[in-house]
Amino acid sequence: MVAKHSTDVVVDETNDENSGVTAALCNWIVTLNKDDIPHAVLERAKHLILDGIACGLVGAHVPWSEKAADAILDYEPDGQCSVIGYDEKLSPLAAAVLNGAFIQATELDDYHSVAPLHSASVVLPALFAAAQVKANPRKSRFQNSNGVYAAATVSGLDFLIAAIVGFETGPRSGLAMYGGQLLTRGWHSGPVFGCPASAAASSRLLGLSADDTESAIGIACTQAGGLMAAQYEGMIKRVQHAFAARNGLFGALLARNGYVGIKKVFERRYGGFLSMFSQGNGMTPQYDVREVAAGLGETWHTNTNIRVKLHACVGGCHGQIEAIAALQKAHPERFAAENLARIKSITVGLSGPIFAHDGWEPHERPLSATGAQMNAAYIGATQLVDGQVLIAEFANDRLNRDEVWDLVYKTKCYHDKQFDKPNHACGARVVVEFEDSLVVEETLQMPRGFSPPITDDEIRDKYRKLAVSAVDQERMNKIEALVLGLENVDDVSVLLQLFAAPTRRVLG
């Protein structure tokens, strides 16, 4: 939209450098209070926190997480911040990296359906560390206008509101540049959108002013990045959302002591966050800065578009899994284990971003666990063979099974434009042809949890199923009670102490 200011200068509102959007977001961040937040949003936020902690508990001791922990603990000195599943404490930034990596470790953490990012793995690690920095300052000589920084207890309500700030900021940053479009071009969108999210949450928890919050977000955004090629092999994909957690926390810690960051980071046309990450997208307009502050206090992403995973793989393939499950239910004999070899071909239609992200043909056998959880052909074959796609399906000794790979090689993915509509990106069309020429198909526009979302009861069930595999029943129950009663917790450190102790290894 083009508008005229009083000077009669024509201004494009989608990229107006003087729109004040970054400042408006920061003012909202610092002034938000409990009475401004609907009860349903507060409740959902607590359940998203619980879900993130569950993912961290099971993710702390999978093999790739242990590799990361071994490496960081080998060089990083002791600090004041807790690490999920370990006795050791590290510096704030190092702890944020490990905790983020653990929450993202098994692909069971939440995802946003339009502006793809995993909110818990970005927001929670930053807040865990920020809370402990605030409660246990290493130095007291730094001052701001209010005087010397001293130890301060962080309440559960403070933590909860800060988490909501992060949950709301990340998706808006992504929507301003068309959300999943970033994936299509090979960027790992979550570590990009996640930087302002973690900065916003950390700034709120640390009590920064609106001006300092703007600096923190600017510092975070200049560190943003993440290559989606990380999905094919290796382990680094697990850590990239944690980079965003670290970057936002770093921005807030610098700004807390008066360090000035980029101002108007969303609005700047030259070298700004939106203008740079939207380059080459072919969209008109290239980006829309207004989305950053659109609907603040009225539209809540926390309880509408942040989805909770029921399958241990990339969220974009959940529709494919459930379409195959529907075929298995409708044709039990055809899809019985002894008849899978009679499948001639499988075609899978996916949205543009998901096809680019997950529709690639496997380039090696076996895939790494990361690659297997990011590959539509492998994910579909796993559902056909095992009837589920959970953590156990991606253990090392299960990644080279002939019965799975026979189906992988028969699978072809393609871009199906019917799924390019908002909130349909995770849908799928699956067509299976058998050797006797019988063809069956299933189209699923949206996987479970879109309309209506996964219920809070289901999130609690998921938490218990995951947590009980990693901690004892008493500890599991205490964590759940504290998180679901966060607004009544005087000192959030009691929660941090509960998860910061050794957990069991879940995956060999």
421 and 365 housed in the same domain: yes
- Is 103 part of any domain? yes
421 and 295 housed in the same domain: no
266 and 321 housed in the same domain: no
pLDDT at site 8: 53
Task: Tell whether omega for the bond before 366 is within 30 degrees of 0, i.e. cis.
Answer: yes
282 and 137 housed in the same domain: yes
Q: What is the CATH number of the domain that holds 166?
A: 1.10.4100.10
pLDDT at site 5: 47
Half-sphere exposure (Cβ direction) of 198: Cα atoms closer than 13 Å = 41
Please state the separation of Cα 420 from the chain's center in Å: 21
How far apart are the C-alpha atoms of 213 and 219, rounded to whole Å?
Answer: 10
Please state the separation of Cα 180 from the chain's center in Å: 13
Q: What is the CATH number of the domain that holds 386?
A: 3.30.1330.120
The phi and psi torsions of 453 (rounded to 5 degrees) equal -65, 165
254 and 171 housed in the same domain: yes
Q: In a 10 Å sphere around its CB, with 0-12 CB exposed, 13-18 middle and 19+ buried, how is residue 271 labelled? A: exposed
Q: The pTM is what?
A: 0.95
Q: Which residue, of 424, 444, 464, is where some domain finishes?
A: 444
- What is the 3-state composition of the chain as percent helix, strand, coil, each rounded to the nearest 5? 50, 10, 40
- Is 138 part of any domain? yes
pLDDT in tens, 26-35: 999 999 999 9
Instruction: Report helix, strand or coil for 400.
Output: coil
Q: Which residue, of 444, 462, 496, is where some domain finishes?
A: 444
195 touches 246 (CB < 8 A): no
How far apart are the C-alpha atoms of 466 and 490, rounded to whole Å?
Answer: 27
How far apart are the C-alpha atoms of 286 and 274, rounded to whole Å?
Answer: 9
245 and 364 housed in the same domain: no
How far apart are the C-alpha atoms of 228 and 240, rounded to whole Å?
Answer: 10
β-pairing verdict for 81-82 and 10-12: unpaired
51 and 179 housed in the same domain: yes
328 and 234 housed in the same domain: no
- Is 46 part of any domain? yes
Q: Which helix (H) or strand (E) holds 144?
A: strand 143-144
Cβ neighbours of 166 (radius 10 Å): 31
260 touches 213 (CB < 8 A): no
270 and 346 housed in the same domain: no
pLDDT at site 151: 81
298 and 356 housed in the same domain: no
The phi and psi torsions of 463 (rounded to 5 degrees) equal -55, -45
245 touches 99 (CB < 8 A): yes
Q: Which residues of 145-164 are buried (b: 16+ CB within 10 A; e: fewer)?
A: eeeebeeeebbbbbbbbbbb
**Structural domain of 319:** 315-444
Q: Which residues contact 213 (CB under 8 A, 6 or more apart)?
A: 26, 29, 30, 199, 200, 203, 204, 252, 255
How far apart are the C-alpha atoms of 194 and 191, rounded to whole Å?
Answer: 5
- Is 497 part of any domain? no
- Is 482 part of any domain? no
Instruction: Report helix, strand or coil for 420.
Output: coil
Report the number of distinct structural domains present in the chain: 2
Q: Which residues contact 118 (CB under 8 A, 6 or more apart)?
A: 103, 104, 109, 110, 111, 190, 194, 241
Give the dihedral sign, CA 153/157/158/159: positive
Q: Which two tokens stand for residue 464?
A: 């218990």
Q: Which residues contact 48 (CB under 8 A, 6 or more apart)?
A: 110, 119, 120, 163, 167, 302, 306, 308, 459
How far apart are the C-alpha atoms of 283 and 285, rounded to whole Å?
Answer: 6
326 and 376 housed in the same domain: yes
The phi and psi torsions of 80 (rounded to 5 degrees) equal -110, 5
Q: Which residue, of 283, 307, 331, is where some domain finishes?
A: 307
Q: Which helix (H) or strand (E) holds 261?
A: none
Between helix 210-221 and helix 189-206 the angle, nearest 10°, is 150
- Is 502 part of any domain? no
pLDDT at site 363: 85
Q: Which residues contact 184 (CB under 8 A, 6 or more apart)?
A: 352, 353, 356, 357
Q: Encode the chain (508 residues) as per-residue pLDDT tens digits.
A: 444 444 455 579 999 999 999 999 999 999 999 999 999 999 999 999 999 999 999 999 999 999 999 999 999 999 999 999 999 999 999 999 999 999 999 999 999 989 999 999 999 999 999 999 999 887 654 455 555 567 889 999 999 999 999 999 999 999 999 999 999 999 999 999 999 999 999 999 999 999 999 999 999 999 999 999 999 989 999 999 999 999 999 999 999 999 999 999 999 999 999 999 999 999 999 999 999 999 999 999 999 999 999 999 999 999 999 999 999 999 999 999 999 999 999 999 999 999 999 999 998 999 999 999 999 999 999 999 999 999 999 999 999 999 999 999 999 999 999 999 988 999 999 999 999 999 999 999 999 999 889 999 999 999 999 999 999 999 999 999 999 999 999 999 999 999 988 898 887 6
pLDDT at site 4: 47
Q: How far apart are the first and last CA of the chain?
A: 55
217 and 356 housed in the same domain: no
